[in-house]
Structure 1
């Protein structure tokens, strides 16, 4: 007898498997940005992007767990290329903002696909990710604005990131469960 929560493999599930790869790629991209900040002796920015890398990995594992829970095949493939060199603090954060905008478009397409295929469990699952993307774009946009206003004064940028990171919240109880218990 099959799992009663399993809806046959659909376009939504195919896109979700692709999104797992995108999330792992985003995690690696954020590590590359963090390493750039670390090597530039900007520890607060580095810490922020190492944390962001961990969050993206967590998103991928939430998607893995969802597929496991639905008794659907899970594929963990290779990652796309990442950029490892940056010309400026602003350039690194601008790349991150553009990446978040791209992820938002993909998450929106996933949600649309779930709705169009009548996968109400999938649509419900995607709601948390939609809200997360609103927060991610707002956060990156604000950081880029602060960097631009700091006009090259990295001390001010570091101070801002340190102050704001003390108010950052975790994924929260409403977040989907991650494979591996969020390790």
Structure 2
């Protein structure tokens, strides 16, 4: 993003044409209406990420792997760093959507493949959905130079969840399957889960 007056339309054209045709870019920009003319530098990081995701979802006849690489390139060009710590309260269906969107943006921003991003989103969603059913909690996600770290807190005491103390339940199986350094236990009140997922060395398909 070279100039503070660069509009999203200008940014999208400069980046997206490396992946899709001008016609495809124009059609997607038309679908987002006046937002295409927003000045990128005037937007918060959150709004930039949301606008980029809206644009990418509007691309026609574009494979998921190409769309993922394009979104990664746009996030980088728009100076949307994945790094930092994010805290999301999980209490209802809307917060579950927020969790999935945040994981998607972070995964794409650090360069995870579409397949790996979807696995991570699904795993976190399974765990978050169960926590909502049991009274809610929160998720903390922190991106470092080496990995995405997850701390998940449940307000309820969910009891033993993993071997050797218990058989891993269905709502936790996907998370355990994809997580690294997985740990769970009782907090002062409720339960907590901690794990991480390594960042790729480069953007992959």
Which TM-score applies when normalising by structure 1?
Answer: 0.32
Is the strand fraction higher in 1 or 2? 2
Higher fraction of helix: 1
Give the TM-score normalised by structure 2.
0.30
Q: Which has the larger radius of gyration?
A: 2
